[in-house]
Amino acid sequence: MKFTNEETLKMATTFKKQFIANGLVTHVMKRKSAKNSFCYEIRYRSNRFCISAAANGVAADETVETWWDGFYEKFASVYSDCGEPESTDVTLGGTDGEKYTFSGTLNGQEYKYIIAACVRGGYVYYLTYTSTPDYYENHLDEFDKTVENFSFR
């Protein structure tokens, strides 16, 4: 699918911000996350799975564990059938963090998630893998490679 220059100029700004990474079209979005704070999200989405990366400002004394507690509390308030998340150590770009594996049901559809997160320089950086159970195993290698190759500049 191609768009003319006129069509592109009429599109929402967030829709136009995309680039190709490793042959995959990714979208970049800027989202307001607090009164004076923004979250930048990079997302690749395909049939029944999504990998995204985001960063949010956090308090100076915030740890990945305290961030996770607040995040998961909000998640569980929206999703049903949330099991107890599994946690393992992970390294993102040389920074120690945690990897959480969990699931939840929204509008009758079950989803499986992995979030790899770390806190660095006043921000929580996290990579999210989302899939339906039937496609979950199909793209785990892609997410693992994303975590493995994550770096800070």
pLDDT tens over the chain, length 153 residues: 444 566 555 555 555 455 555 565 656 666 676 655 666 666 666 656 677 777 788 888 999 999 999 999 999 999 999 988 999 999 999 999 999 999 999 999 999 999 999 999 888 999 999 999 998 998 888 889 889 888 887
Predicted TM-score (pTM) of the model is 0.75
Q: Is the dihedral of CA 91, 92, 98, 102 positive or negative?
A: negative
The owner of tokens 């893998």 is 129
